[in-house]
Every structure is written in structure tokens, then in C-alpha cells.
A and B are shown apart, each in its own frame.
Chain A
Amino acid sequence: MTTIDLGLPGLAGVPTFEGAQTAKDYKTDQEVRWCPGCGDYAVLAAVQSFLPELGLRRENIVFISGIGCSSRFPYYMNTYGMHSIHGRAPAIATGLATSRGDLSVWVVTGDGDALSIGGNHLIHALRRNVNLKILLFNNRIYGLTKGQYSPTSEEGKVTKSTPMGSLDHPFNPVSLALGAEASFVGRALDSDRKQLTEVLRAAAEHRGSALVEIYQNCPIFNDGAFDVLKDAGERTDRIIPLRHGEPIRFGAEGQHGVVRDPKTGALRVAEVAAVGEQALVVHDVTLDDPSYAFALSRLSGSELDHTPIGVFRSVSRPAYDDLARAQVAAAKDKPADLSSLLRGKDTWTVLD
């Protein structure tokens, strides 16, 4: 069985495992050291339980992380792994993924790691569309350095480093990734195992870069940042579940929907009763033009009032590492004769 037989063309080249695997196979003997209640636990458990289902050889999976709380992730995964340098994981992973087509390479990063110190590497990995699955744990705070505001913290955030409130306008990671023309962008919540697993699986199956923003609670320094998306009373009016091919609607009775503003082309939330079902936008992850997915990402800002969750975009575009390996393979049609390379065209001979 190959990944193609398994219906996973996005994982072409990665060898499969014939036997059964369980979550336990993916756990290491290292003691997990996140704070009690940290959202990272839920993501770790989701990844450990969903990976066996992919049926890949465990030794062909690599997790590479930067620095930050979430970046401890590789130590807890019984795969190959590297806990690297602050912000640099996408760069290191790019080299690994490009030189080894038989690996499934995952990057684990956080909002500070990916969007602050490593912003440059992130956008370039996405632009190149390297076969990397990038899990961006967004807790909107710096945890490991004990609670400074991050590039996704809401404006006016009071932290140790901003006692009078932060001044910076935050990034919307999904918008940023789409701006970099990421071929796959999704968003999930740490607390919703089922939905998280769905997005992770879709990311794993995608050929090219996949960025998954995971809203992750940091109970120590930014507790409850995403509570409005978890609260039974508020959740349904705020979360917009994205399902490919279906009209975008939400609310306990499906009473809200997303429609296009004919004047600006932007998307907005409307009451289905007022606009009619026909007016609802039908979600399509395959649109080549990223402006639709971008418009979706603009429905929510820091205030989380209307927050789309799921896959925003999943389009097919050649992956950098595939192209790079293809160039090397094509070049190999030319014989690799070291002796004639070293001699070159103009030599002269000195006799004894």
C-alpha cells in the first residue's frame, strides 16, 4: 500500500505502515511539562490520536519547532524531531522537506515564534508552497517568557511589558497566510477535538504548505482568551463553521449567514430571514483567487465576534520541494562525470 492507494495523494512518497498503530506508539517517555490546563495538551492528544489513522511509517514523520511553549511539542512525539531556534523552524523544515521527499514534515510554532521573530520565514515557506504542515498555536500572548503581549494580542492589552496597554495593531494569522498566497489555510479550536482533527487531517492530505491556526488557551498568562468561542450560550452565534460546498450559515437555528456586499465585494454577516437563503455564499475552498478566502478571514478581528472555523482555502499549486527534486532528477539525465567537470574546457599539459 502506498499513500496513493490510501487516498492520500498529498502524502505521495511517504512510506506507509502495514500494521496497526495507536496513539500510544506516538508518545515518548518524556514527561510533558506544560502548565496544568494548557491548551497544548489537547492539541498534543489530538495529533497523537489522529496520526495513527494516516497509516504512515512513524519513522518517516518529523516534527520541527522553534522556541516557545508550544515548541516543546516534538519532545513528546515519538517521531523524529528537532526543537530548533526561535522563529527558524520553517527554514530548517524547508531544507529537510526539500532534500527528503519521503518524509512528512510538520512545523509546530506559536504566535510569537511564527509571526514575530519568524515572520519572514513563515511567509516565504507559504509563498514557496513547501510540503510542510504548519501548526500555529495562537494563544495571543508570550507564555515562555512569562506574559508579554504578542503580535496577535488585541490592541490595548495590559501586560508586564505594556502596563498602559499595548499599542500595536495585531496580525490576523489567517489573513497573513492568505496574503502570502498559502495554498492551504485552516483554523481550529484546541477544545474541539473533532473539528481540530478534521482540519489537521485535511492539512496532512494537502500537497504543499498547510497553515493551521489553532486557538489555544494559556490559562496562566491569557486565560479565557477564546472563552466566547467555547461558551455554550455564545458559541453558536460567534463560530462560523466552514464546510466546502455548503452555504455558510450559523447560529443555533442556522439563522445567520454570510453574504457578499454587492458594492464592496466584501463578505458580511446577515440574517437569513432578511436576505433569503439564495443570497448566502456557498463555501468553496478551491477558488484560485485568494480574495474570497481573505474576505472570509476578515469577518473576525481580535474581538472574535464572528469567527470562521475550518478550512478557508485548499488549492492545488506546485510545491517547491517537488519542483526542486524534479530539477535535480531531470539534471541527472546529464552524466555526472567529475573528472571532466574538474578539467573543464581549457587545459594544458606539462610533461616531465
Chain B
Amino acid sequence: MSIDVGRGTRHTEVHKMDRVVIRFAGDSGDGMQLTGDRFTSEAAAFGNDLATLPNFPAEIRAPQGTLPGVSSFQLHFADYDILTPGDRPDVLVVMNPAALKSNITDLPPGGTLIVNTDEFTKRNLTRVGYATNPLEDGSLASYQVHSVAMATLTRKALEPSGLSKKDAERAKNMFALGLLSWMYHRPTEGTERYLREKFAKLPAIAEANVLAFRTGWNYGETTESFAVTYEVAPAKLAAGTYRQITGNTALAYGIVAAGQCSKLPVFLGTYPITPASDILHELAKHKNFGVTTFQAEDEIAGIGAALGASFGGALGVTSTSGPGIALKSETIGLAVMTEMPLLVLDIQRGGPSTGLPTKTEQADLLQAMFGRNGEAPVAIVAPRSPADCFDMALEATRIALTYRTPVLLLSDGYIANGSEPWLVPEVENLPDLSVRFATEPNATDGSGAFWPYLRDPETLARPWALPGTPGLEHRIGGLEKAENTGSISYDPDNHDRMVRLRQAKVNGIAVADAEVDDPSGAARVLVLGWGSSFGPIGAACRRVRRLGMDIAHVHLRNLNPFPKNLGALLANYDKVVVPEMNMGQLALLLRAKYLVDAASYTKVAGLPFKAEELQDVFAAFVKGLDS
């Protein structure tokens, strides 16, 4: 069978747009994440800038057709550099009544709504509380509604394939993808190739999905109901080679690269937890880079094994989310005391306790900063976007290896699962992170002994002497150590000195100065953010500037220690605003350290900020100063 997939002859009006936001929403079993992923890949292959927001329930299969079972994927693509997955969709694709009900309020009036009508049965409508069919009762009059019997059309097209009705209808998400691909002039080869690879072992299913995809495309092409198609030109990004990447993949690649740049074997000790497990899955594929992955019996053993591997000279890494950090605290404390390099990746999620496993939050900052007994300072870094996870993995490694300290990296569910184009770095431009291990006794008293706590005068790091090195046999542990010699010491003055030394070491970590984004140079209000809110804050600042106001944005990637220029920067502005997806944790630290009257704007809804909402907040601060 051959179906011509190409721009046909039917005349449709083509609208040129600079950006579009599409949201696919359906039941968890409808394959919405896959559909969104594929559309994202098509947009990436076309050269658009893009940002994505997957949103799915914590249950693997919530009851079918119910509101809690709705899964969605939002994608923003544009012909210029964009910062967020978009506040509201321009186009909403819904596969069932539950998806309509839980998403329709986000669609602005005039927006395009594409509905799979097959699921709009009386039973399904009643189940989610619709007394009448919204497709018929006029309640959707303010939208451009396209009713398409996607399941029926897919099933009919697949009849010759001999697939069961159920299997055939399962391909309806590919029908939706095909239709949208037609509407937005997307390239299709990538998706067809992908489907054939994904179902390589089930060729019948592969061909059924390809056929469903083409059927969706041809439906747009041949029926009269779609009069307009849209074009979003490729974005004019900086020259180079790009790929699409999620935060968790970028983080895993960053760890692989860190092993290569440091010439150390990588040892990941971890325990599965949402939303961090994909880091384990990804790293487990790259053993050829000298990566060992250990799925431990619990969070504690995961970090314990990583620290044990560090003791042996590996780059020890553990990955988790907030609840796991709570369990790992004692081992982070041991790593502080034994002053060994260790990477702790915290993919934050809604808390406290089990909280909202699949939703995002930035509420682990104070846990990272202070969540241990005693004075136990650690370095903290936070990537600001999916692609930035790669760079921050290298930054965390640099700090850990140079200063022999645990480093906490705070990503979150939003950037972990979200994706964006990534300018792939040239390997030869990656930093040299190689380590000098101790090889000789170092005692300064002429004894010829090895002193494991004799510090480098510049970094205050202690030597890293690997088991197997003759003459450097030594013992470390959680008890307080005597300065230099590392023997157990209960001496009061020694303890006071060691507490201060450990703090001074972390305080003295060299980090890049914070950069200010203030195009006019005239801003009096500074917005200071950290982590994944970079996109929404940046987008909101652009909007505020378009309204003719000045505003500055600084986004922190190093949270402990702060950049050295931060204090002076804060003093430059009349007002400092700190938006956070927590109750004001960074603001608390800034107030304590710099005595700055920072205003906190907080939202803890499990979803990233919307640019629109931040725009209003920022504009109000700018206007407030003027009045």
C-alpha cells in the first residue's frame, strides 16, 4: 500500500506564526507523552526553538477515563529563542471528556480545540460530571472546535491490517500526531523511522502506527474542515549542532562527561525514585565509558556505596529526590567529615513527605543547605534549564574534586522531564578535571608519616590517598579528626578549628560571578531566581521590558557559596524580588547573609511559574517604585 504523504494540492491558507503552544491531553493509557515527544522531535528536526512540559499522574495507570488519570504534554515551539513551554496552549488536543474537563480552562477564547469525539459517550461524560455533551450544548462556542472521530477513522484505516479493534484504536494518538504534523507543516520522516525502530520486533504494530500517522495527516489534507495551516520558521539560534534534550538525560551525559574529563571511573549508587530514576536508566546504558551503576537496597546504601567508591578513587555519584535526601543526610555528613568528593543529585519534587512525586517544586534548598546534624557545610549548585544540567554536572564535579567535598545539585521535575534544544558542546572544549592523588608521605614534622588532613593552603582540600598506595595507609571516619594528622581528637580547640576550617573551605570555593541581564542598564528592580524558574522569570522580564519598563534579572547557579559579586549586585538595586516555588527559601538566605530587604514571591502549586503571572508581579514592583 502506498499513501502519498506530501503537501498535497488542496488549497489551504497558510498562516505564518512566530510561536505556537500545543497541548496534547488524554488518558494515561492514550500515549500522550509519546505523542508530545514525537512532535517535539519533529519541531527540533525542523530547527525551531522549543520547550516542553510533560504533566502526568503519579499512578502508573489511574482508572481509565477519570480526571486523576489525565496525562498531558505541552510544547512551545518558535522561530526565535524562547524560555518556557508557554503559559497557555493555542491548540488543545483532547482525547476524552476527562482531558477536556481538566484542560479547557487553560485554553484562551478563540483557541483551537481538536477533540476525539469517539470517547464522548454518555457514560464517559457522566463519569467526569458532564450533564450534557459539551460538544453539543454550546459551552465551547468561544473556541474553534474541530470534532474528529479519531478512533473510528484509525480503526477503519487499519481494517486491512487484520489488527484487533482494540489494537487498532490504540494507534489513535498517532492519528492525532499526523493531523497536527500536517497542520504545522512538520517533517514526518523522523516519526516514521522512530516508529519502525521502536516496534522493530513487532512489524505489524509498527506499520499500523505509521499508517495511523499517515491517516491523520491525510485527514487534514483531504477534508475541508481544516482551512488553515500554520508555518513556524526555524529559529535563528547561535550557529552549531543542536539536539533536543531533557534535563535528566543532560545530567546523565554530564556525569559521563565528568568521568571522561576527570579520567575517573564513575560509580553511581542509587535507588529508584521519581523523578530521578531516568538518570540511573541512562547511566546504566553507558558502562563502556567506565560507568558502574549500582541499584542499592535503599537510598542510604545507594549513597553509602557511592562514598565507598569515592574512597577507592572513583567519581562517586548518587541520584535521588527530596525524600531520598532525607535518608542520605547522615552519609552526606560523613562525606563532610571525611572530606571526600561526592555528587548528590536531587531532582526535587513536591513535598513534604511523599508529597507530589510527579510535580515540580524548589523546596529542598534549605534541606540541602542545612539538613544535617552539626555544622556540615556542602557546596550547592542548581541548573537553570534542561540543557544546563550538562554544564552543572561538570561544575559540581569540578567543585567536588578540587575541594574534596560533597556537592548537592538541585534539579527538579520541571527541567528533569522538560526538554529544549541543546547546542552540543565540542568534546575538546570540555574542562580538564583531572585529579592529583597523594603518592608520598607528607608530614611536616619529619616523621615520614602520611597526614590525611594536611590541607592544600589554597583550596583547603585534604589529600586523596587511594587504598593500594604503599606508605599512605590511613584511617578516616565520622569522629572529629585532629588538624593535619587526622588522628581522633576530642580536643575542644581542635574541634573549633576544624569546624571553621570545613566552613572556610566551602566558603572559599571559587565560583563564577553572577551575570546581570539588564539590557537598558537602567533597571532599579532586580529579579533574583535560581534553578528551573529561569525560563518563566526570563520570559516575564522580556514582557515587562516590552511594556517599556526596565528590569534586571540575575539567575544563581551556585547557591553555596554564592558568587562573590552577589552582595555588591544586590546593593545596586532599589528593590530585589525573589520568585521561588517554595515559601521563600533563597530569600531567607539572602536576607540573612546580605541584610537585604528582598521581597519574596512564592507559589507552591507543583507547576512551574507562568510568565504572565510573573509579568504582573514584576510590573507591579517597577510601578511601585515609580509611584
Contact = CB atoms under 8 A, between A and B. Distances in A.
Given A62-B467, A324-B292, A334-B288, A350 B301 contact: no
A348 B296 CA distance: 38
Contact of A91 (B46, B243, B301, B487): B301
A64 B300 CA distance: 16
Interface string B259-303: 010000101010000000000000000111111101011101100
Contact of A100 (B256, B312, B476): B312
A348 B286 CA distance: 24
Interface stretch (B17-25, B102-110, B234-242, B572-580): B234-242
Given A83-B478, A84-B478, A324-B292, A347 B307 contact: no
B260 A120 contact: no
A47 to B, nearest CB: 15
A85 B289 contact: no
A99 B265 contact: yes
B567 interface: no
Given A59-B468, A84-B478, A120-B298, A343 B241 contact: yes
B555 to A, nearest CB: 24
B44 interface: yes
B45 A346 contact: yes
A328 B291 CA distance: 7
Contact of B306 (A95, A331, A332): A95
Contact of A348 (B47, B308, B338): B47
Interface residues of A, number: 61
Interface string A103-125: 10000000000000000110010
Given A92-B305, A92-B307, A348-B242, A100 B257 contact: no
Counting contact residues on chain B (CB < 8 A from A), the size range is: 35 or more
Nearest to B301: A91
A83 B334 CA distance: 10
Nearest to B237: A350
A82 interface: yes
A28 B488 CA distance: 13
Nearest to A65: B477
A58 B479 CA distance: 24
Nearest to A57: B470
B314 interface: yes
Interface string B445-484: 0000000000000000000000111111111111100000
Nearest to A100: B312
Contacts of B287: 327-328, 331-332
Interface in A177-205: none
Given A99-B292, A348-B45, A124 B478 contact: no
B288 A331 contact: yes
Interface in B226-265: 234-244, 253, 256-257, 260, 265
B424 interface: yes
A36 to B, nearest CB: 20
A98 B260 contact: no
A22 to B, nearest CB: 15
Most A Cβ at <10 Å: residue of B46, B47, B236, B297: B297
A342 interface: yes
Interface of B: 41, 44-47, 190, 234-244, 253, 256-257, 260, 265, 267, 269, 286-292, 294, 296-298, 300-301, 304-314, 316, 330-331, 334, 338, 424-427, 467-479, 487-488
11 contacts: A81-B477, A94-B294, A95-B269, A96-B309, A99-B292, A99-B312, A103-B312, A328-B287, A343-B243, A350-B234, A350-B240
